[in-house]
Copies of this chain bind each other. A is one copy, B any other.
């Protein structure tokens, strides 16, 4: 029984040697035990010519599996130097319609037409054209056309024959999809059900009609939520009139879920593009620069705000000591509040509570945290500082800033969401920076007032 084989440095070296010696047999022999996903990982280890040499050696089925496993960017780079004819016949012809459409969607219009022209399988070419019409981020853009479709009036025996006929095209068969004469989805029959039914039974009498489906225009994220919530491995996609259009399998949805989660994480950590540690220096730099520039702009605004208080700072330089503390706490509380909302919106647990209710609750959480933290810093400053004005200023400013950040952090993602903007932006640079600045301003203003009251 073959298990996953570790791609060792040594294996990579031997493969590169075989490629550079133009030893086809040796190269193929070295990778013959590998799964397509592992062969695709070799891409990172080889240069582009080497991987082109290697992947073109593979037979069509495997070659197309390998290409389908590559990152979008890598696919583009890999295919760029190949003619439309080679792309069509070596790769696309052996792919499922959804993978093929994904790849063609990234090609130039000209190249796309060239490839479509050279696809031998006319039905596949038609399916691809159909799929290309859908938004990439909708169920239509995710679905594949390959599925076993049976008519509700057929017998199980007819279905079995149909399965035999269609099975070659469909890798993973979980269900047969049952339609009426007008191609309207009526239900599903699991293979288990088929195996357990009599050959002469009519599909209509054994089908499961209480099924969940999505529409071609359902957003990918919603498809992911539905499949996750109802633990589905495949979901049928219907058009607005209920006709069966395709099916989405869980492996494609796992990718959506991971991308979605990574996007939020990247947002929270200030990366504006999907970068990997293996990417080039320039790309990583570019992905990081936008947040940093916003941060810089925020810093400049912060400097301007503090500049308005230069005289205070000159007389009471100790006020400056707590600037980092106030700014950090405002930022932290704001991100925390936003993250709870962002996650709640993402996994759909925020439903019936009203915005005001949420703000009320967040006010309590903020007040509790704020008072606790302010007490701690009060005690510290009581002992550590000679200035009662400073002690009271830092504590009162901290409560105020924490409260403000909690409310602001809660409100922003809700507002963004209302306006159909990705709420995760709230944990991103712009809002946190804004939070920092407002926090600083509050601190200095409170300081000015309290120092006039308490300064000795």
Interfacial residues, chain A to chain B (CB-CB below 8 A)? 1-4, 7, 9, 12, 35, 37, 44-45, 160, 163-164, 167, 172-174, 185-187, 190-192, 194-196, 209-213, 226-233, 250-251, 254-255, 257-258, 261-262, 264-266, 268-271, 275-278, 281-282, 284-285, 288-289, 291-293, 295-296, 298-300, 302-304, 306-307, 310, 313-314, 317-318, 320-329, 331-333, 335-336, 338-341, 343-344, 347, 349-353, 358, 361, 364-365, 368-369, 372-373, 376-377, 380, 402, 427, 429, 433, 436, 440
Contacts and interface: CB of A to CB of B under 8 A. Distances in A.
B228 A365 contact: no
A201 to B, nearest CB: 15
Contact of A327 (B185, B271, B327): B327
A46 to B, nearest CB: 12
8 contacts: A232-B251, A233-B233, A284-B340, A299-B328, A300-B325, A303-B325, A306-B321, A328-B436
A195 B192 contact: no
A2 B186 CA distance: 10
A213 B296 CA distance: 50
B336 A270 contact: yes
A434 to B, nearest CB: 12
Contacts of A380: 300
Contacts of A209: 1-2
Contact of A340 (B212, B277, B292): B277
Given A261-B265, A344-B278, A349-B278, A191 B172 contact: no
A95 to B, nearest CB: 14
A318 B317 CA distance: 11
